[in-house]
Each structure stands twice: as C-alpha cells, then as structure tokens.
C-alpha cells in the first residue's frame, strides 16, 4: 500500500527485512508468502530483479533507521500487516523483532497502537467488502 514511498536501497533492505520477519517464527505461512510476493510487485522488485541475500538483521534495521520517519512508518505498518497475515498473533520472536525495530526507528507506543488499530479497521473493511461482493 505504502511501499511506493521507498527509494532504491530502501526497497531492497525492506525486502530483506520482511523476509527475515516472515521466517523468524520458523514458519513461512502461505499468507505471508502471498504478502511478500505483493510487496515485490508493488516495489517493482520481482525475483528476477532482486534475489534475497539474507543480510544480517541488525545491519538491515540500522540501514533503514537512516530513512526519513515517513518511510520508516510506512515500512513498519507493512511489516505489522505481514506478521498479522497468518494468524493475527505475534509469537515471542516476532514481538522481540517488532519492539526492537520500534525502538530503533523511534516509533512511539502510541503510534504503534494507532497502527494496530488501523490494521484492525482495515481487516474489518475487507470482510465487509467480501460480503458485499458475495451478496
């Protein structure tokens, strides 16, 4: 949704980050893979355009910390959506990653909760839209 804001290396680093996050719980769910594919399409970085290099997690987070706050907010909300995509629950490893990134990127607890509330609202809208389409 918001990944068109990202520039050059931010896109590649974001992909590295979300691939790491998607696999941190030891299970890459089909919903997560679908979102990763969508992120690639949105940023114009298909598999033929960029191969995941499995950069070290802390290096990625530090590199992306140099981005402007708007870009960090966009990446953070997209990452939260990815984590929620398979079961809407965060396991302990995912919670640790989210908290670390939140701190590194200067995202307040209030902003985090606003983002989570917005994602809840968005999911409800998708359910409503699905019902409108079916009936």
DSSP code per residue over 59-101: HHHHHHHTS-HHHHHHHHHHHHHHHHHHHS---HHHHHHHHHH
Q: What is the mean pLDDT of the chain?
A: 91
Output the pLDDT for position 126.
Answer: 81
Q: Look up the domain containing 121 and give its range.
A: 3-134
Largest CA distance in the chain: 49
CATH code, 30: 1.10.3680.10
Examine the pLDDT at 101 and tell me if it is beyond 80.
yes
> What are the tens digits of pLDDT across the range 9-48?
999 999 999 999 999 988 888 999 999 999 999 999 888 8
Structural domain tally of the chain? 1
Cβ-contact 37, 77 below 8 angstroms: no
Cβ density class 93-122: b for 16+ within 10 Å, e for less: ebeebbeebbeebebeeebbeebeeebeee
Task: Determine the length of the chain.
Answer: 135
- DSSP-based three-state secondary structure for 129: helix
**Averaged pLDDT, 91-110:** 93
Output the pLDDT for position 110.
Answer: 97
Q: Please tell me the pTM assigned to this model.
A: 0.89
- DSSP-based three-state secondary structure for 9: helix
> What are the tens digits of pLDDT across the range 77-91?
999 999 988 876 788
* Chain centroid to CA 109: 17
């Amino acid at each position: 949704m918001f990944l068109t804001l990202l520039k050059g290396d931010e896109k590649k680093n974001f992909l590295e980050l979300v691939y790491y996050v998607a696999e941190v719980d030891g299970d890459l769910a089909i919903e997560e893979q679908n979102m990763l594919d969508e992120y690639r399409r949105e940023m114009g970085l298909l598999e033929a355009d960029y191969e995941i290099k499995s950069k070290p997690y802390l290096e990625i987070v530090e590199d992306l910390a140099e981005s402007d706050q708007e870009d960090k907010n966009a990446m953070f909300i997209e990452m939260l959506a990815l984590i929620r995509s398979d079961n809407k629950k965060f396991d302990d490893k995912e919670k640790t990653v989210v908290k670390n990134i939140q701190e590194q990127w200067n995202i307040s607890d209030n902003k985090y909760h606003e983002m989570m509330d917005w994602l809840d609202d968005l999911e409800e809208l998708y359910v409503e839209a699905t019902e409108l389409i079916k009936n």
